[in-house]
């Protein structure tokens, strides 16, 4: 990799004309979020704000956003040529994450340059933004990693889960029991113990991308990040617990979460990844009590505009999510023994909801196996509301071609399967708020498979040249080779 940490990555972006330095004073209250939104709308660069209202003299004075906001910046983050296509990125991610690289534990690192303990902890020293007008508060945690440990096995999970600042020492957390850290929390709760937790802000982009990806139970995301970076991550132990965090992090929050519901405080609402609010009602959530903060000299805070929804272009979390979700879902299908997968793609404008899969169709019911392999994964609570399966001659990265396959290769009464009343869609705006309450915030999805492959129950027909479906009316390879040799003679 050409960079070791976030700072190196920002230097790399600037060298590639992909970073804007904003020296105008900006307001943490909505203005930073609006800048991020307009940057996305205009396909503009990542940016770093160097002067933030009310934070000119705090210990943290800078914030960066939109660091992965186009395919070029994601390619740079992965150490690939800047014109690498999204499909090539998916293939490369799959290739690399098969060869896990264990992290290296070091004695100290830049994140230990400054340490604040307990009564001196003060979250107001950080330029935490209020991103949207109707958010419940300033969201400290949108672009970060959360580290927890299984009390039984010692398995370390690294994930990304939102958190709203409640006061100078506490953050309200959205904790789902179906996410990996939620499984850890349930074990601590049964023991009547508080759960140790550490949060690293300002990590390198590959570690952030890995953290947001739904890897299965038992996978250490640090090892995945090492695999993608092709080198071990350097970690340090925290000051108040034994959780490991990246040594080059800009900022580290350490503390614990009390899992007694009587200690919960109201968190939300927040403008989530579908680009809207799933509810305007704040609800009781577990509280992350921050007991230690360590940070680099002149640290850089990070934040993310998680989703812009249908009105605008995809945000950076949508873009890189399309890469990582496609990679892990492709693995999930094949690990279930389903053969013939030629491509998998989650379109960047529909984070997680719609997945498109192309196959070399081998037998009756093959597309249904694909769909149920996706729906059977623990990650399906946020993935695969719609599954569209097409033949391998259809480019799943081109929505127009997918629509053409649906138009020309489906009979709706038999090729569209609806599986009603499954769990999923906690943050989906099409799921009624009352349903979320009744299902204990699991949500309820009717899932859909659209089988847009050729019907394999038809018999061969002579007028189709012995095929079981109408032949394609395109020039032969031989004819194309001939006219290509003469192309310039035609005057093109």
Q: Residue 430 — very low, low, confident or very high, per pLDDT cuts 50/70/90?
A: confident
Mean pLDDT of 323-328: 98
Mean pLDDT of 257-279: 90
Mean pLDDT of 322-334: 97
At 381 the pLDDT is 84
- Same domain (yes/no): 210, 286: yes
User: Of 302, 327, 351, which residue sits at a domain end?
Assistant: 302
- Same domain (yes/no): 152, 247: yes
- Same domain (yes/no): 233, 175: yes
Q: Residue 251 — very low, low, confident or very high, per pLDDT cuts 50/70/90?
A: very high
Mean pLDDT of 427-433: 85
What share of the chain in percent tops pLDDT 70? 100
- Same domain (yes/no): 269, 320: no
Q: Residue 256 — very low, low, confident or very high, per pLDDT cuts 50/70/90?
A: very high
- Same domain (yes/no): 290, 328: no
Mean pLDDT of 163-180: 95
Tally of CB atoms within 10 A around 298 = 13
> Does 441 have pLDDT greater than 80?
no
> What CATH number is given to the structural domain containing 412?
3.40.1670.10
> Does 177 have pLDDT greater than 90?
no
At 436 the pLDDT is 80
Range of the domain at 320: 316-452
Q: Within a domain: residue 284?
A: yes
Q: Within a domain: residue 37?
A: no
HEC secondary structure over the chain: CCCCCHHHHHHHHHHCCCEEEECCCECCECHHHHHHHHHHHCCCCEEEECCECCCCCCCCCEEEECCCCCHHHHHHHCCCCCCCCHHHHHHHHHHHHCCCCCCEECCCCHHHCEEEEHHHCCHHHCCCCECCCCCCCCCCECCEEEEEECCCCCCEEEECCCEEEEECCEEEECCCCCCHHHHHHHHHHHCCCCEEEEEEECCCHHHHHHHCCCCCCCCCHHHHHHHHHCCCCEEEECCCCCCEEECCCCEEEEEEEECCHHHCEEECCCCCCCCCCCCCCCEEECEEEEEEEEECCCCEEECCCCCCCCCCCCCHHHHHHHHHHHHHHHHHHHHCCCCCEEEEEECCCCCCCEEEEEECCCCCCHHHHHHHHHHCCHHHHCCCCEEEEEECCCCCCCHHHHHHHHHHHCCHHHHEEEEEEEECCCCCCCCCHHHHHHCCCCCEEEEEEEEECCCCCCCCCHHHCCCCCCCCCCCCHHHHHHHHHCHHHHCC
Q: Within a domain: residue 476?
A: no
Q: Residue 247 — very low, low, confident or very high, per pLDDT cuts 50/70/90?
A: very high
Q: How far apart are CA 116 and CA 103, in angstroms?
A: 26
At 382 the pLDDT is 87
List pLDDT tens digits, range 270-317.
988 888 887 777 899 999 999 999 999 999 999 999 867 777 889 999
Mean pLDDT of 160-187: 95
Q: Within a domain: residue 36?
A: no
Q: Within a domain: residue 3?
A: no
Mean pLDDT of 164-184: 95
- Same domain (yes/no): 325, 251: no
List pLDDT tens digits, range 33-61.
999 999 999 999 999 999 999 999 999 99
Q: Residue 254 — very low, low, confident or very high, per pLDDT cuts 50/70/90?
A: very high
Q: Residue 379 — very low, low, confident or very high, per pLDDT cuts 50/70/90?
A: confident
Task: Specify whether the CB–CB gap between 223 and 126 falls below 8 A.
Answer: no
- Same domain (yes/no): 196, 338: no
> Does 26 have pLDDT greater than 80?
yes
At 432 the pLDDT is 86
> Does 328 have pLDDT greater than 80?
yes
| Total number of domains constituting the chain | 2
Q: Within a domain: residue 47?
A: no
> What CATH number is given to the structural domain containing 132?
2.30.110.10
Q: Residue 428 — very low, low, confident or very high, per pLDDT cuts 50/70/90?
A: confident
User: pTM, whole model, 2 decimals?
Assistant: 0.95
Q: Within a domain: residue 397?
A: yes
Mean pLDDT of 413-423: 95
- Same domain (yes/no): 252, 389: no
Tell me the CA distances in angstroms from 54 to 58, 116, 127, 244, one per residue in order.
8, 21, 8, 32
At 350 the pLDDT is 84
At 293 the pLDDT is 98
**Least confident window among 309-323, 361-375, 396-410:** 309-323
Higher pLDDT, 429 or 284: 284
> Does 434 have pLDDT greater than 90?
no
User: Of 302, 335, 370, which residue sits at a domain end?
Assistant: 302
List pLDDT tens digits, range 67-92.
999 999 999 999 999 999 999 999 99
- Same domain (yes/no): 259, 403: no
Q: Residue 427 — very low, low, confident or very high, per pLDDT cuts 50/70/90?
A: confident
- Same domain (yes/no): 289, 339: no
At 330 the pLDDT is 98
- Same domain (yes/no): 288, 323: no
What share of the chain in percent tops pLDDT 90? 88
User: Of 302, 332, 363, which residue sits at a domain end?
Assistant: 302
Q: Within a domain: residue 65?
A: no
Task: Specify whether the CB–CB gap between 117 and 291 falls below 8 A.
Answer: yes
At 5 the pLDDT is 98
Q: How far apart are CA 345 and CA 319, in angstroms?
A: 11
- Same domain (yes/no): 331, 440: yes
Mean pLDDT of 3-20: 98
């Amino acid at each position: 990799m050409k960079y070791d940490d976030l700072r190196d990555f920002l230097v790399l972006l600037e060298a590639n004309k992909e970073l804007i330095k904003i020296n105008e004073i900006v307001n943490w209250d909505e203005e930073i979020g609006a800048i991020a939104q307009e940057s996305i709308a205009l396909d503009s660069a990542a940016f770093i704000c160097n002067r933030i209202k009310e934070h000119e003299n705090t210990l943290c004075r800078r914030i960066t956003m939109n660091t992965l906001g186009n395919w070029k910046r994601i390619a740079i983050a992965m150490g690939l040529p800047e014109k690498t296509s999204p499909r090539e990125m998916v293939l490369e991610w799959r290739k690399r994450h098969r060869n896990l690289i264990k992290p290296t534990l070091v004695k100290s690192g830049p994140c230990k340059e400054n340490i604040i303990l307990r009564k001196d902890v003060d979250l107001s020293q950080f330029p935490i933004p209020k991103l949207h007008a109707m958010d419940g508060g300033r969201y400290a945690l949108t672009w970060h990693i959360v580290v927890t440990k299984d009390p039984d096995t010692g398995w370390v999970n690294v994930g990304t889960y939102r958190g709203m600042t409640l006061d100078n020492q506490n953050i309200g957390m959205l904790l789902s029991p179906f996410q990996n850290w939620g499984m850890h929390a349930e074990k601590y709760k049964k023991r009547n113990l508080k759960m140790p937790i550490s949060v690293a802000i300002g990590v390198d982009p590959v570690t952030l991308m890995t953290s947001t990806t739904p890897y299965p139970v038992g996978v250490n995301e640090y090892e995945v990040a090492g695999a993608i970076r092709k080198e071990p991550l350097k970690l340090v132990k925290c000051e108040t617990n034994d959780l490991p965090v990246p040594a080059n992090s800009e900022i580290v929050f350490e503390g614990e979460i009390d899992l007694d519901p009587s200690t919960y405080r109201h968190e939300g609402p927040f403008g989530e990844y579908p680009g809207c609010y799933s509810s305007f009602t704040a609800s009781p959530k577990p509280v992350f009590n921050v007991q230690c903060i360590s940070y680099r000299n002149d640290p850089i805070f990070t934040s993310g505009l998680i989703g812009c929804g249908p009105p605008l272009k995809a945000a950076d979390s949508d873009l890189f999510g399309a890469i990582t979700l496609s990679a892990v879902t492709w693995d999930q299908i094949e690990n279930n023994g389903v053969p013939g997968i030629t491509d998998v793609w989650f379109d960047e404008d529909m984070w997680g909801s719609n997945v498109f899969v192309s196959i070399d169709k081998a037998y009756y019911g093959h597309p249904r196996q694909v769909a149920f392999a996706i729906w059977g994964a623990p990650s399906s609570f946020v993935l695969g509301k719609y599954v569209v399966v097409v033949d391998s001659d259809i480019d799943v990265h081109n929505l127009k071609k997918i629509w053409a396959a649906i138009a020309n290769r489906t009979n709706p009464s038999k090729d569209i399967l609806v599986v009603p009343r499954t769990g999923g869609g906690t943050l989906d705006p099409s799921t009624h708020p009352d349903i979320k309450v009744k299902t204990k915030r699991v949500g309820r999805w009717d899932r859909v498979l659209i089988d847009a492959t050729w019907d394999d129950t038809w018999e061969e027909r002579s007028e189709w040249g012995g095929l079981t479906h109408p032949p394609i009316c395109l020039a032969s390879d031989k004819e194309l080779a001939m006219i290509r040799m003469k192309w310039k003679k035609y005057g093109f």
